[in-house]
Amino acid sequence: MTFDFNFRAGEYLVERNKTETPHLMEHMLLGANEFIPKARAFQAEFEKNGAYSNASTGSYDITYEAECADFEWERVLELLLVAITKPLFLAEEFDSEFGNVREELAARSNNHFRHLSLALREKYGFKVVTDQERRKLLTNVKLKDIVAHYERTHTTSNLRFVMAGNLSEKRQLAVKDRVGNMGLKKGRGRQPLPVEHPKTLQDPLLIRNRTVDNIYFYVDTFMLRRMDDPEMDALSLINTMLTETLYSRILGTARERGLVYGMSSGYGQTLTSTNWWIGAQVMSKNAPALFNIVTNEMKNIFDGKLSQEDIEMAKQYALGRFQRSGQTVGGTANGYSFRYFFDDVIDDYYQVPQRIKAITKTRIIDITRALFEDKVWGFGVLGNSNIEFVSQLQDQVRQLW
């Protein structure tokens, strides 16, 4: 069985100088509580039959999750609910988790992709802060800030809950009764998402790091509206065709020429925009050739140079990936939780194969072109490079807008 409790309680709800308040609170919440007043003892009780628990904090949300064997689902659910509703927030555990968070931020700082991504998103105007800056701001957070943030955000009307597993009717009734009477205040509803308007970066972002032999890069483009579901389905498919397989149009071509080991691309939405990005790490000498492949393949899509055979192959891949994603309770829960936590939409899981089948060549071309029409974009590099070289790479991709 899996459980996901999501509260709209992320970093955007606190002042910038207190940005680590939600993160510290998340660390402390799965600790000492009224039932077991010591974090280590609570974890020992929680995990004694092999159960797993974790929590994560992002710009918008905090999610507490657990997975356990079927036979102990009631016990694990009860422990999770006690942790969420009856935390003690002890001063000595604040000191411990303060040190743990500082160590976590130090470890994250070694992730060059994460550093570049956060730095770019901050430049675009989103409510994010790099891990390097968070370490400096950490000392501003006090225990009283954590308690206040908890009281503000951990309410039943601000909660969304997903559970997956063997959900008999009897179990469903038991869960509804227990979660429905979990003991939190009702609050004033779901915290609204922030209104963020991405802006174009006229100049490339360069983060100099002399210890990195190659370069890390990201290219972003933004549509200044939310896509509907058919558009998102088409975007997902073209993303598959570009980088998700070793025979894809960009990654496959680049690997065939020995230019790059791996690449990734993806998409996401905020309250007011849709973003598509592509990134990789590549040796500087290979970067111009790789960027030529990126621009040429994107132009081919703009011009409609897509074979029906390639589209059908991508659909088959997408269908198999979807079916594979539902083979575990965790995968099934993830299939529902993303949209539900973001905008309260419960996707019809069983309609996904039909949605994949309905994607057309015209829709793929139209939505790819539309991603570049608002001309909101940016480019960033991390590595031992110079601004002249980075500007040349930016000029290569600039033609897409």
Residue-range domains of the chain with CATH: 2-180 (3.30.830.10), 205-398 (3.30.830.10)
pLDDT of residue 349: 87
For residue 205, the model assigns a pLDDT of 98
Task: Please tell me the predicted confidence (pLDDT) of residue 155.
Answer: 98
The span from the CA of 179 to the CA of 83, in Å, is 13
Q: Which residues contact 354 (CB under 8 A, 6 or more apart)?
A: none
Cβ(130)–Cβ(17) below 8 Å? no
CB atoms within 10 A of CB 157: 12
Among candidates 230, 253, 231, which has minimal Cα distance to 241? 253
Cβ(226)–Cβ(239) under 8 Å? no
Is residue 246 packed enough to be buried (19+ CB in 10 Å), middle (13-18) or exposed (0-12)? exposed
Report the distance separating Cα 377 and Cα 238, nearest Å.
Answer: 19
Backbone angles phi, psi at 376, to 5 degrees: -110, 115
Q: Output the pLDDT for position 271.
A: 94
Residue with tokens 């390097």: 132
Q: Please, are residues 383 and 215 in contact by the beta-carbon 8 Å criterion?
A: yes
Distance CA 251, CA 264 (A): 8
- Residues paired with residue 281 on neighbouring β-strands, in sequence order: 216
- Can you list the alpha helix ranges (DSSP code H) found in 86-220? 91-108, 112-124, 131-137, 143-153, 169-180
Can you tell me which residue has the tokens 């009702």? 186
What is the helix (H) or strand (E) element at residue 282, kind and residue range? strand 274-282
Tell me the CA distances in angstroms from 36 to 50, 55, 72, 149, 363, one per residue in order: 19, 19, 18, 22, 55
- Bridge partners (DSSP) listed for residue 1: none
Distance, C-alpha 247 to centroid of its chain: 26
pTM value? Answer: 0.94
In sequence order, which residues have a C-beta less than 8 Å from that of residue 247 and are 6 or more positions away?
none
**The Cα angle at residue 36 between residues 96 and 51, in degrees rounded to 5:** 85
- Residue 382 contacts residue 115 (beta carbons within 8 Å): yes
Alpha-carbon distance 357 to 5, whole Å?
A: 33
CA dihedral defined by 352, 244, 64, 350, rounded to 10 degrees? 10
* Full pLDDT tens readout for the chain, 401 residues: 999 999 999 999 999 999 999 999 999 999 999 999 999 999 999 999 999 999 999 999 999 999 999 999 999 999 999 999 999 999 999 999 999 999 999 999 999 999 999 999 999 999 999 999 999 999 999 999 999 999 999 999 999 999 999 999 999 999 999 999 999 999 999 999 999 999 999 999 999 999 999 999 999 999 999 999 999 999 999 999 999 998 999 999 999 999 999 999 999 999 999 999 999 999 999 999 999 999 999 999 999 999 999 999 999 999 999 999 989 999 999 999 989 999 999 999 899 999 999 999 999 999 999 999 999 999 999 999 999 999 999 999 999 99
What number of other Cβ atoms are within 10 A of residue 87's Cβ?
21
The distance in angstroms from the start CA to the end CA of the chain is 47
CB within 8 Å of 146: residues ≥ 6 apart: 21, 24, 25, 28, 89, 94
Tell me how far apart the alpha carbons of residues 365 and 238 are, in angstroms, rounded to a whole number: 9
For residue 66, with 0-12 CB atoms within 10 Å meaning exposed, 13-18 middle and 19 or more buried, which class applies?
buried
